[in-house]
Amino acid sequence: MSAQIVHLDHFLPDEAATKRFGEDFALALQKGDLVTLSGDLGAGKSSLARAIIRSIADDEWLEVPSPTFTLVQSYEALRLPIAHADLYRISSGEELDELGLSEFLLDGAVLAEWPEQGEGYLPEANFAVTLTHEGAGRRIHIEGPASAMARLRRSLAIRAFLEANGRAGATRRYLQGDASPRKYETIASAAGVEILMNAPQMPYDPPLRNGKSYRQIAHLAENILAFAAIDGLLARHGFRVPQMRAADLEAGFLVLENLGAEGIRDENGKPIAERYEAAGRFLAHLHDVQWPDHAPVPGHPDHVIADFDRDAMMIEVSLVGQWYAPRMMGRKLTDEEMQSYEAAWDEVIRALADVEKSLLLRDYHSPNLFWFPQASGKDRIGIIDFQDAMIGPAAYDVASLALDARVTIPRALEQAVIAAYCDERRKLDHAFDEALFYKAYAAMGAQRNAKLLGLFVRLDERDGKPDYLKHLPRIHDYLARVLVHPVMAPVAAWFRAMGLLQEGSAPDENA
């Protein structure tokens, strides 16, 4: 059965509107998209293609020549490689095959003008665009499968949201996001350069146990309300988070303050010790607050801040058995092996009953931390990506920082971060129990890095995101570091028995 075809009509009154539509279109495109561009001479096919390509290149002055004579002009170095084709002079399907457009779609997108010349030889278009003159402007008609058109409609909805919130004519550009379905953009307008979070309701996740999905068991945010709630909660307690400047929480759109580009690593990606230590001290202040178990969201029910309970910890470390172990061992684990793994973690989790609990931000590491050198104390650190926050062992975020998944942290720096945190805790709270902290640090460091081993393999095998595999040697090293603590003995024994504990140090690419 063929996919449902959806239609969209839009009027573009001038070239500026065509340029803006090209930006909106560019942000809807993904690998494998074929965009066909039909219309009379001068209807605007090349103008729209040029706007799309320049937006993806983030270069409004990029030279985008017409491919009339070359037939195909490729832009392979872009974040989404683009092939821009003009098929007007194609006379046969054999000539079309020689252009290699089908092969290009494996890794990028194709914009094809005059597709009528290749009819019967081109793949089905994801977006079939027809441009016609209308007064001083042009009318654009687009049709395509519902799934593809939904991406374009959402991008156009973002444009409407911006216009309704004082940002008409804003320049939109793609911004690298995280491993979630959330997407981000930079928005440049009269209001300055801001960040747009595009966070629709998370897709359906099939239930795993007791009618709950992985996302629900692990207490992962299912919509944008969680971010808004935690952002407001942290701001009210004096922590530096992005100011929310415009919102449509029902649609999943937020315009956020841009915290800048200065993080806690240098221009070469190496950790800056002073900044990592300051980030450790920041956590001491975070853990000095008595946090509630809920946070208000204006116009909505309070957001419940879930406990990082046994089920949540276990569903995350189960990724080792589901994805990582089979990848490393070349076979699935037996039921007995899975049960012994779970029993080992149960023993560890029971041992955490007496450790300190606080708000844990869950992804407190370098990609989500910003540096403000003119500030002092905890205000030198700004934070993002805290929508999955929970109440759990306070040491979790210290382990997330000191064992940063995105950059190799030498053991000396790890110890310096821990020392800075403990020093600040003692200044703020003389009752701070360092021995309990170290126990929780080892357990949470192991739990997080075990999860990451499975998650990074899953991102490769299930989601087609192989780049995360480059982090595995580092995660092996981090896991080996924390498994030496006595509290982790049951889990360490299991990893050794399975031949999965790689105790050699990861290469120190920061040296």
Domain of residue 489, residue span: 262-498
Are 452 and 475 a contacting pair, CB within 8 Å? Answer: yes
CATH number at residue 408: 3.90.1200.10
**Average pLDDT over every residue of 203-211:** 76
What was the pLDDT predicted at 212? Answer: 87
- What is the spatial distance between Cα 473 and Cα 498, in angstroms, rounded to a whole number? 18
Question: Percent of the chain having pLDDT more than 70?
Answer: 97
Question: Percent of the chain having pLDDT more than 90?
Answer: 82
Q: At what angle do helices 434-461 and 395-402 cross, to 10 degrees?
A: 60
**Average pLDDT over every residue of 176-193:** 85
Final residue of a domain: which of 127, 161, 195? 161
Give me 274's structure tokens.
């002073």
Higher pLDDT, 279 or 88: 279
Among 46, 88, 52, residue whose Cα is nearest residue 71:
88
What was the pLDDT predicted at 511? Answer: 37
Give me 116's structure tokens.
């009528």
Question: Residue type for 22, please?
Answer: G
**Average pLDDT over every residue of 216-244:** 94
What was the pLDDT predicted at 179? Answer: 56
Give a yes or no: residue 87 inside a domain: yes
Among 296, 277, 133, residue whose Cα is nearest residue 228:
296
Can you say whether the dihedral through the CA atoms of 438, 440, 441, 446 is positive or negative? positive
Could you report the per-residue pLDDT of 109-126, keeping only the tens digit for each?
999 999 998 888 888 999
Phi/psi zone of residue 51: left (φ > 0), alpha (ψ -120 to 50 degrees), beta?
A: alpha
DSSP β-bridge partners for residue 111: 35, 84
Among 427, 428, 352, residue whose Cα is nearest residue 396:
352
What was the pLDDT predicted at 494? Answer: 97
Give a yes or no: residue 172 inside a domain: no
- The pLDDT of residue 324 is above 60: yes
What was the pLDDT predicted at 204? Answer: 66
Give a yes or no: residue 84 inside a domain: yes
- The pLDDT of residue 66 is above 50: yes
pTM (predicted TM-score): 0.90
- Which 8-state DSSP code applies to residue 190? T
- What is the spatial distance between Cα 338 and Cα 467, in angstroms, rounded to a whole number? 28
Final residue of a domain: which of 117, 140, 161? 161
Same domain, 153 and 274: no
Q: What is the DSSP string of 257-314?
A: ----S--SB-TTS-B-HHHHHHHHHHHHHHTTS---SEEEETTEEEEE--B--HHHHH
SS3 of the chain: helix, strand, coil, percent, to 5: 40, 20, 35
Query: Exposure string (b/e) for 454-487, b if CB count within 10 Å is 16 or more?
Result: bbbbbbbeeeeeeebeebbbbbbbbbbbbbebeb
User: How many other C-beta atoms can be found within 10 angstroms of the C-beta atom of residue 362?
Assistant: 23
Confidence of residue 439 (pLDDT cuts 50, 70, 90): very high
Could you report the per-residue pLDDT of 408-422, keeping only the tens digit for each?
999 999 999 999 999
Number of domains in the chain: 2
What was the pLDDT predicted at 510? Answer: 47
Give a yes or no: residue 221 inside a domain: no
Could you report the per-residue pLDDT of 145-176, keeping only the tens digit for each?
999 999 999 999 999 999 999 999 999 999 98
Give a yes or no: residue 40 inside a domain: yes
Could you report the per-residue pLDDT of 370-411, keeping only the tens digit for each?
999 999 999 999 999 999 999 999 999 999 999 999 999 999
Mean per-residue pLDDT of the chain: 93
Final residue of a domain: which of 161, 186, 207? 161
